[in-house]
A and B are shown apart, each in its own frame.
Chain A
Amino acid sequence: MREIALYIHVPFCIQKCRYCDFVSYPYHQSEAISDYFKVLVQEIQIRVEKENLQNIVLKSIYFGGGTPSLVPSEILNDFISFLGQNFRFSESIEVSMEANPGTLNSEKIRELAHLGVNRLSLGIQSFQNRFLFFLGRTYQEKEVHNLLKDIIDTGLFLNWSFDLMYGLPFQTFSDWKKEIEYLFRYQPPHFSLYNLTLSHRVPLGVFYKNHFALFPGQDWEASVYRWTQQALRKCGYRRYEISNFAKPGYECLHNLTYWRNQEYLGLGVSSCSYLKGIRMKNASTLSHYQKRIKNCRSPVVNKDILTLKQKLAEEIILALRMSEGFETEKLFQSYPENMVQEKLALLENFALSHFIQEKTGRWILTSKGTLIANQLFLEILD
């Protein structure tokens, strides 16, 4: 049976954060959400037919956004039931939902658990008001603590995660240490460590351009990353991907699908899919997306049929993001020998400078290599 991961993009937020470069719209009325979910249902019908997705087993479902925790439980209920009618669910299915402080209370937590959501990913970003304010988040420290308390007190979610962000203007090492102390206090089974990355299209990107001296810079970031990694390791966390840490067994199955270069279907505006070696992207504005679905057309507007060489390069790059790396033997099974040899020659060169190492048939980035991974990836790309 063909197993895939499913991603659903929910493009609504209370307000758009100042660093956010994802497709999202300020949310005013619940009709917008119920309309959107009706269109999602239609998309499933269209995609199942066009992409031949009958007899599919879902190994994970991921509601990303936006702020999926804004979606009323009845709508979610109908939607998940509809998924059940169209796909089989794997027995160990992971159903994740992203949520922001201020959009969840203990009642909503219970409802989500009841609906079958079994993993929560909380976009906390910081425990300190001045950073929350700077980023344009809509909640305050107090709400962060309330949310975490509710999750722990209800006891319904064993698998949950939160994100913290470093590299913010005026952020000092002791500011960051404070964030990590909170992390240790709440002990989420999974943790994502994000470096603030700004596109020039977002308001903070413009701020960065004019005030880059206020940001701590790459040397500080490199040191903070190293320190955090060591602190987390001492506390029982394992770094399983460049920006993701988990206690054993709590790795995010859904995200592993991306890095292991396995198949996934993305639903909703601007979502991406990877099916049968083809990378696809849906229309990236809400109106364009809805228009295509209403005209019974596939929302996919970009298709990238990867050549074998591209596929190999992507597979290596994605795998190297993970601490499990990749097995040489596996590559030889799927790709022509000379193609693999060519890439291995590159890697051997990096190994001379200790950016990467080979251990029992597996290639893995060293911690030195992890920090400058882009430079290595550039060379691996064709």
Chain B
Amino acid sequence: MTENQSIRNFCIIAHIDHGKSTLADRILDLCHTIPKQKMRDQVLDRMDLERERGITIKAKAVRLEYFSSQRNSSYVFNMIDTPGHADFSYEVSRSLAACEGAILVIDATQGVEAQTLAHTNIALAEGLAILPVINKIDLPSANPDRVCEEIENVLGPDHLPIALVSAKLGKGVEELLEKVIDFIPPPQGQAKKSLKALVFDSIYDSYRGVLPFIRIFEGLINKGIEIMIYSNKQKYQVIEIGIFNPDMKEIESLGPGEVGYISCNIKAIQDCRVGDTITLAINPTSQAVPGYKKAKPMVFCSFYPINAEGYEILKEALEKLQLNDASLMFEPDVSEALGFGFRCGFLGLLHMEIIQERIEREFDIEVVATAPHVVYHVLTKNGEIIEVKSPRDFPSAGEIEEAEEPIVEMKIITPSTAIGGVMDLCQSKRGVLQDMTYLDPNTVIIRYHLPMAEILFDFYNRLKSVSRGYASMDYEFFGYASSNLVKVDILVSKEKVDGLSFISHEENATRRSRELVTRLRKLIPRQMFTVSVQAAIGGKIIAREDVAALRKDVLAKCYGGDITRKRKLLEKQKEGKKRMKAVGKISLPQEAFLAVLQTEEQ
């Protein structure tokens, strides 16, 4: 246990690629946390996926011992490295709740970007001390003066940068740590009070069960003590206590302000949720730590195992990932084409992509992911309000009084030269301009309201392309707004195929229908008859393509009389046909259903 006065708890926040993880590496170096021979770049990014993509997905806590030669005394730092991408801001907000301060890293060449603002706002809301730091000052294109000006414009004169560093070269890092001691307050909290600890993360270990990662606000936690989960009153005996060094290292106890993990034989994932409070079984605390606001999934998609046997594994995978990623939501789902699976809710597209990849890598099952979509609200003429999560549930046009779609507030920071392109893009995505503010003469923040469905597909890529890579974006859910939505049905040989329907804004319905029927024409195998593929709104056909009849499908002669082989080839072909879904006389392959469900190709 360490005295409060010598503890500092902080996290590092930044826009993606501003050099957070490299700065974390240098801080680890200075504190001799990791032996030189084991040190590697971005040492805290442990997932293969993080290292491959060079991004941080999971926040990581690490305990550092820092000796300040200026003050001739030792300090304990609990540092949390956080993800930069907007989709993981929930992860960031949880990390912030475990800290008293945040180092805000800003790239000396890029300046303030969208996530810089987003993370700063969260940190301010949590009441943290913010230490802006300008990084990458070694680069020739670094412009610390301009960046200072931007920071002053955004954060006000109280939050001027306190350090100029080059994390790559290790310049200025020691000075930064001295400032951390000066500007970040030590944790409050008293050892003699009853235990009050926040579960800010957790992992599942097959031997030890759920391991909650905790930040202690009040009281002490010792080995052998009986603790209680505040929300469900479940009691457990503490078997092991440890800190992150950065690997798990067992210690005897943790006191106020300290960060570590406990092991207490929690078997079920549901029994200890991230955001919960841990207290003592005897004489519990009367008040929980304010938890987190529940993450609100914005983007939905369904995962189906490739093989039916994968369902249980997929379920287990989602449960375990949820433990580690509280923003992931899921519920069982069934599709007539793809069978049983789960509808999952994500904070954004990158989040969705990362979860799919983690499921496939860490649990070794292949999944089919449907296209991301949003939830619509519909008021029917019967006075019912329906949450439409699937085109199946969308009422027919005659029953709809009003339909609403989710709107996001989008903040785009862009060089002023690209304003025209950015605005054209947003207009074409049905955006409504809110305002525009100059950060400095060359940089502008544009605020738009945009339908969420419009940003799901290629918005980010197009934003990057219209701004030659310079614009950055961040969005949050704004609310629901009335919209002219229609359900488009697909008819194959004049028969409606349920699994192929989709919901669209009326303006886009024709274009999307044309694209889809064209794709379907290519995917539906040629059959004995010409097959028509039509898109219709109500009874009105808005697009049509024909799959030409099969012209040639015949085996060469029976060489050497091997009739059995020919029969087996035919049987195999027949098997393949059986696996397709029969719609009237037509057989549709699974790919056809995926065409509508999966991301649109551009």
Residues of A in contact with B (beta carbons under 8 Å apart): 7, 9, 22, 64, 192, 194-195, 197, 218-219, 221-222, 225, 241-244, 255, 257-259, 264, 266, 270-274, 279, 281, 302, 304, 314, 317-318, 321, 353, 355, 370-375, 377-378, 381
Q: Mark B545-574, 1 if CB is under 8 A from A, else 0.
A: 000101111111111111110010011011
Query: Do B570 and A281 have beta carbons less than 8 Å apart?
Result: no
Query: Do B557 and A274 have beta carbons less than 8 Å apart?
Result: no
Q: List 6 A–B pairs whose Cβ atoms lie within 8 Å, in order of A's numbering.
A: A192-B557, A195-B552, A258-B563, A314-B563, A373-B555, A381-B567
Residue of B nearest to A21 (CB): B559
Task: Please pick, from A219, A241, A244, A372, the residue contacting B528 in the complex, using a CB distance under 8 A.
Answer: A372
Residues from chain B with a CB closer than 8 A to the CB of A271 are 560
* Extra inter-chain contacts (16) besides given A281-B562, A314-B567, A353-B529, CB under 8 Å: A22-B559, A64-B559, A219-B551, A221-B552, A222-B551, A242-B557, A244-B557, A258-B558, A266-B561, A272-B561, A318-B563, A370-B554, A372-B551, A374-B570, A375-B550, A378-B577
Residues from chain A with a CB closer than 8 A to the CB of B571 are 381
Complex Cα distance, B514 from A199, in Å, reads 36
Query: Do A372 and B561 have beta carbons less than 8 Å apart?
Result: no
Would A255 and B555 be within 8 Å (CB), given that A281-B562, A372-B528 are in contact? no
Query: Do B561 and A258 have beta carbons less than 8 Å apart?
Result: yes
Residues from chain A with a CB closer than 8 A to the CB of B570 are 317, 374, 377-378, 381
A-B CB proximity, top 9 nearest: A222-B551, A222-B552, A374-B553, A218-B552, A373-B554, A272-B562, A378-B574, A258-B561, A371-B552
Residues from chain A with a CB closer than 8 A to the CB of B556 are 194-195, 197, 243
Q: Mark B525-555, 1 if CB is under 8 A from A, else 0.
A: 0111100000000000000000010111111
Residues from chain B with a CB closer than 8 A to the CB of A373 are 553-555
Residues from chain A with a CB closer than 8 A to the CB of B550 are 218, 372, 375
Complex Cα distance, B154 from A291, in Å, reads 86
Residue of A nearest to B528 (CB): A375
How many pairs, one residue from A and one from B, have CB atoms within 8 Å of each other in the complex? 101
Residue of B nearest to A243 (CB): B557
Would A274 and B554 be within 8 Å (CB), given that A374-B573, A381-B574 are in contact? no
Would A372 and B552 be within 8 Å (CB), given that A242-B557, A258-B558 are in contact? yes
Residues from chain A with a CB closer than 8 A to the CB of B573 are 374, 378
Query: Do B561 and A7 have beta carbons less than 8 Å apart?
Result: yes
Residues from chain B with a CB closer than 8 A to the CB of A371 are 551-554
Residues from chain B with a CB closer than 8 A to the CB of A381 are 567, 570-571, 574
Residues of B in contact with A (beta carbons under 8 Å apart): 526-529, 548, 550-564, 567, 570-571, 573-574, 577
Complex Cα distance, B555 from A221, in Å, reads 13
Residues from chain B with a CB closer than 8 A to the CB of A279 are 563-564
Would A272 and B564 be within 8 Å (CB), given that A378-B573, A381-B574 are in contact? yes
Query: Do A64 and B557 have beta carbons less than 8 Å apart?
Result: no
Complex Cα distance, B585 from A361, in Å, reads 29
Residues from chain B with a CB closer than 8 A to the CB of A321 are 557
Q: Indicate the member of B556, B561, B562, B574 with the most A CB atoms within 10 Å.
A: B561
Residue of B nearest to A9 (CB): B560
Query: Do B528 and A272 have beta carbons less than 8 Å apart?
Result: no
Q: Indicate the member of A241, A258, A264, A314 with the most B CB atoms within 10 Å.
A: A258
Residues from chain A with a CB closer than 8 A to the CB of B526 are 218
Would A264 and B567 be within 8 Å (CB), given that A197-B555, A218-B553 are in contact? no
Query: Do A281 and B564 have beta carbons less than 8 Å apart?
Result: yes
Complex Cα distance, B528 from A242, in Å, reads 18
Give min CB distance, A122 to chain B, whole Å: 15
Residues from chain A with a CB closer than 8 A to the CB of B560 are 7, 9, 22, 64, 266, 270-272
Query: Do A372 and B562 have beta carbons less than 8 Å apart?
Result: no
Complex Cα distance, B380 from A192, in Å, reads 68
Residues from chain B with a CB closer than 8 A to the CB of A281 are 562, 564
Give min CB distance, B409 to chain A, whole Å: 47
Residues from chain B with a CB closer than 8 A to the CB of A197 are 555-556
Complex Cα distance, B548 from A375, in Å, reads 15
Give min CB distance, A58 to chain B, whole Å: 15
Query: Do B561 and A264 have beta carbons less than 8 Å apart?
Result: yes
Complex Cα distance, B552 from A225, in Å, reads 9
Give min CB distance, B292 to chain A, whole Å: 51
Complex Cα distance, B561 from A289, in Å, reads 18
Give min CB distance, B392 to chain A, whole Å: 32
Complex Cα distance, B558 from A279, in Å, reads 14
Complex Cα distance, B564 from A272, in Å, reads 9
Query: Do B551 and A218 have beta carbons less than 8 Å apart?
Result: yes
Residues from chain B with a CB closer than 8 A to the CB of A317 are 570
Give min CB distance, B527 to chain A, whole Å: 8
Residue of B nearest to A310 (CB): B567
Residues from chain B with a CB closer than 8 A to the CB of A22 are 559-560
Complex Cα distance, B50 from A64, in Å, reads 60
Complex Cα distance, B558 from A355, in Å, reads 22
Would A353 and B528 be within 8 Å (CB), given that A221-B552, A258-B561, A372-B553 are in contact? yes
Residue of B nearest to A64 (CB): B560
Complex Cα distance, B571 from A222, in Å, reads 23
Residue of B nearest to A218 (CB): B552
Give min CB distance, A54 to chain B, whole Å: 22
Residue of A nearest to B557 (CB): A243
Give min CB distance, A252 to chain B, whole Å: 10
Residues from chain B with a CB closer than 8 A to the CB of A241 are 557
Q: Indicate the member of B552, B557, B559, B570 with the most A CB atoms within 10 Å.
A: B552
Would A374 and B555 be within 8 Å (CB), given that A314-B567, A381-B570, A381-B571 are in contact? yes
Complex Cα distance, B577 from A36, in Å, reads 43
Complex Cα distance, B561 from A274, in Å, reads 8
Complex Cα distance, B565 from A266, in Å, reads 15
Residues from chain A with a CB closer than 8 A to the CB of B557 are 192, 194, 241-244, 255, 321
Query: Do B553 and A272 have beta carbons less than 8 Å apart?
Result: no
Complex Cα distance, B558 from A51, in Å, reads 23
Complex Cα distance, B526 from A374, in Å, reads 13
Residues from chain B with a CB closer than 8 A to the CB of A219 are 548, 551-552
Query: Do A302 and B564 have beta carbons less than 8 Å apart?
Result: yes
Task: Please pick, from B528, B559, B564, B567, the residue contacting A355 in the complex, using a CB distance under 8 A.
Answer: B528
Residues from chain A with a CB closer than 8 A to the CB of B551 are 218-219, 221-222, 371-372
Give min CB distance, B565 to chain A, whole Å: 8
Complex Cα distance, B563 from A258, in Å, reads 8
Complex Cα distance, B526 from A222, in Å, reads 14
Give min CB distance, A323 to chain B, whole Å: 14
Complex Cα distance, B181 from A207, in Å, reads 67
Residues from chain B with a CB closer than 8 A to the CB of A195 are 552, 554, 556
Give min CB distance, A41 to chain B, whole Å: 20
Query: Do B574 and A274 have beta carbons less than 8 Å apart?
Result: no
Residues from chain A with a CB closer than 8 A to the CB of B558 are 255, 258-259, 318
Query: Do A375 and B563 have beta carbons less than 8 Å apart?
Result: no
Residues from chain A with a CB closer than 8 A to the CB of B564 are 272, 279, 281, 302, 304
Residue of A nearest to B571 (CB): A381
Complex Cα distance, B529 from A273, in Å, reads 37
Give min CB distance, B496 to chain A, whole Å: 24
Give min CB distance, B395 to chain A, whole Å: 39
Give min CB distance, B4 to chain A, whole Å: 67
Residue of A nearest to B529 (CB): A353
Complex Cα distance, B563 from A273, in Å, reads 9
Complex Cα distance, B454 from A102, in Å, reads 67
